[in-house]
Structure 1
Amino acid sequence: MSDVNAPTGVIEVDAEDLPISCPGPHTPLWNMHPKVFLDVATTGAAMCSYCGQEYRLKPGAKVHGH
């Protein structure tokens, strides 16, 4: 049995997409939860604590400091 709220896979993001927050702008209303900002710049990947969606920097992405 699968969970309909389970993430469908890893979302790869580029440095230009930062900062990353979940849920994303295309998430359906029925699947919303409080907005969480995720730090993928430090470790290269992060997982949402609400829904379990994983976000990962694309290979070769160059994150520039502010």
Structure 2
Amino acid sequence: MSEVKQMPVVEVGAEDLPVHCPNPKMQFWSSHPRVFIDVSHGEAACAYCGTRYRLKPGTVIKGH
């Protein structure tokens, strides 16, 4: 049985909004088209690479 690879989780705060992937810390060689990630429900994953983005505990999103 093959092992399922866990994609990294990137914790983001209000200062990081709007969240997009690839994020600035990713290697250039692993880039894909920029997509915006809706983390307003707490966590979401990139449709291209599967990287998960999660709001830091206590983060308040205004205007959403």
TM-score > 0.5, shorter chain as reference: yes
Residue type of the alignment partner of 2:25: H
Q: Stretches of 4+ moved more than 3 A in 1? A: none
Name whichever structure is richer in helix by fraction: 1
Residue type of the alignment partner of 2:30: N
Tell me the equivalent position of 1:51.
49
- Per-residue CA distance 1:7-56 (angstroms, 9 max, x = gap): 3x211000111000000112212100000100102x11110000000000
Q: Does 1:16 align with 2:15?
A: yes
Structure 1's unaligned 5+ residue stretches are: none
Please give the alpha-carbon distance, in whole angstroms, between the structure 1 residues aligned to 2:52 and 2:25.
Answer: 15
Please give the alpha-carbon distance, in whole angstroms, between the structure 2 residues aligned to 1:19 and 1:29.
Answer: 20
Please give the alpha-carbon distance, in whole angstroms, between the structure 1 residues aligned to 2:28 and 2:14.
Answer: 27
Count how many residue pairs are aligned between Structure 1 and Structure 2: 61
TM-score, length basis structure 1:
0.81
Structure 2's unaligned 5+ residue stretches are: none
Over the matched positions of the two proteins, sequence identity in percent amounts to: 52
